[in-house]
Structure 1
Amino acid sequence: MRKLVYFIASTLDGFIAGPDGADPTGPDGFWPIPEEYVRHLVEKYPETLPGPARAALSVTDPGTCFDTVLEGRRSYELGLRVGVTDAYPHLRHLVFSRTIGESPDPAVEIVADDPVETVRELKRQDGKDIWLLGGAELAASLYSEIDGMIVKLSPMTIGSGIPLFSGGAPFDPRTWDLTDHTVLNSGAVFLTYARAAAAAE
């Protein structure tokens, strides 16, 4: 069965964006992206690079981890503000929203249904794993369905901001098995976790 994997960048103090929710890696962002960090993504997770970045880097590798990406309305609208209607044209792209009517892009599926039921149906389908891009609210609503996490841990703190999971997540302590890790010279660490067997039952 396919797995839902929360593949996300986080600061040391557990934030995925600043308090305003803006793209922390954008032109006015505070989040540095070292060259070796990008190189690691290209080598191991090429499908997680947005279409414009793939084109700029001449990346054509379809990747081996994911063929579907899920994101919430706020995350999706970050791209819309700069004219990008589908940041991941190489993946099946689902956006969860009850307020977006018609999709701004024919390749992007707007889903108003319950995220949990949608993910359970996706897991039953054939294919590679499902990438939960975020944001924090969607991650919170899918907390019980997350089978794995790949945390791109940045060697920085910001004090406050948008957490890995919003306050809508239930209090439900879970343990995770560290299955892989990569430490870059820049101090960034890629941590791969799978839900511990007891928690997955």
Structure 2
Amino acid sequence: MRTLTYFVATSLDGFIADPKGGFGDFLFEGDHMTALFEEYPDTLPAQGREAMGIDAPNQHFDTVLMGRATYQVPGGLPSPYPHLRQYVASSRLSTTPIDVEVVADPLTKVRELKAETGLGIWLCGGGRLAATLLPEIDELMLKVHPIVLGKGIPLFAGEFPTTRFAKASTRTFDTGVIFTTYTKADTP
């Protein structure tokens, strides 16, 4: 069975973007980026892959799911991850390129995708979608940046049940960024 991984950058105070959805305060240079490029090239958008000459096969994910605001980030691409199957959770979005599918019921869609064979499913953002999909999230991969935003889009937004995760690994980089992976804990 495939897994759903919420792989996302976050500030020390738990925000994945500023109040307008921007992420310019996060660190985009340094040894953590080298690790990201080498180990998770499937999470880089098409223009980043092209600029860096990355044409590596997908290593971890073959599908990406994102919220409408993440998909429509200013300056974004109409098809940001053409090397993955792309889904956008939205009840308002009506037009997308042919390789981007809009889904109104992301929980049902994730359950369908998890029943298929293939690589993992990457939950790219946002906070409301993460809260909706929390029952199906198998793994959290947090890229914690050494910044405090004070306000913005939270890692999880809205109402959701308490869910326990167990730490699987932690890597600290010279930039101060920490990659921490958590897996869903067995419930008592």
TM interval, short-chain normalised: over 0.9
User: Which amino acid is 2:4 matched to?
Assistant: L
Q: Structure 2 unaligned segments of length 5 or more: list them.
A: none
Other-structure match for 1:136: 127
**In the TM superposition, what are the counterparts of 1:1-20 in structure 2 within 5 Å?**
1-20=1-20
User: Which amino acid is 1:106 matched to?
Assistant: I
Which residue of 86, 99, 116 corresponds with 1:93?
A: 86
Which residue of 150, 174, 180 corresponds with 1:185?
A: 174
8 A Cα contact 1:95 1:109, kept in partner: yes
Other-structure match for 1:35: 30
User: Which amino acid is 2:92 matched to?
Assistant: T
Instruction: State the TM-score, normalized to the length of structure 2.
Output: 0.95
What fraction of aligned residue pairs are identical, expressed as a percent?
42
8 A Cα contact 2:30 2:175, kept in partner: no
8 A Cα contact 1:8 1:133, kept in partner: yes
Partners of 1:48 and 1:19 lie apart in 2 by 23
User: Which amino acid is 2:44 matched to?
Assistant: L
The DSSP-based 3-state class of the residue aligned with 1:149 is strand
Partners of 1:116 and 1:69 lie apart in 2 by 14
Cα offset, 1:63, TM superposition: 3.0
Moved over 6 A (4+): none
- How many correspondences in the alignment? 188
Partners of 1:32 and 1:192 lie apart in 2 by 19
Other-structure match for 2:56: 61
Cα offset, 1:161, TM superposition: 1.1
8 A Cα contact 1:7 1:133, kept in partner: yes
Q: Structure 1 unaligned segments of length 5 or more: list them.
A: none
The DSSP-based 3-state class of the residue aligned with 2:187 is helix
The DSSP-based 3-state class of the residue aligned with 1:54 is helix
Instruction: State the TM-score, normalized to the length of structure 1.
Output: 0.89
RMSD: 1.3
User: Which amino acid is 2:106 matched to?
Assistant: P
